[in-house]
Amino acid sequence: MRLTIDSRDGVHNRDEVVFHAGEQVAMVWLSKLNGKQHTLLSLDRDDGWQLMVGGGPLHYVITLSDKSQNLTFRNPSGDETVTVEVCAGGQYGDFPETFCANYEQAKNIISLFFQGKERQETWA
């Protein structure tokens, strides 16, 4: 699996790429998402599916896509009336809490993605 993470210095970005990344490597990089220097982690699977995790360190917006679908993680325990600011890919956005994952949820989704079982989560 190919892993890509942004590495920002102000308005400048340099992507770091890890080829043949395993699940443990992905978890290490997930822990580096801080919403400042590292704001977007992308995992590309050989079957054409891509998982993108943006944000950190408290809230993450997670998307799942292939050539025909683009899905966003839907947090069943989130509050639709609460808005959270997340920086993903160097861009700030306000998201309802229902579209934000916490760190443990992000870890679980990455693990499921490595197993090909990401559809066990709730996607919109």
For position 10, what pLDDT does the model report? 84
Q: In total, how many domains does the chain have?
A: 1
In this predicted structure, the answer to whether residue 11 has a pLDDT above a threshold of 90 is no
Domain residues for the domain of 80 are 2-120
Share of the chain above pLDDT 90, in %: 97
- 3-class secondary-structure state, position 30: helix
- For residue 87, is pLDDT > 90? yes
Q: Which among 93, 83, 61 is positioned nearest to 74, based on CA atoms?
A: 61
40, 6 Cβ separation under 8 angstroms = yes
**Terminal Cα distance for the chain, rounded:** 24
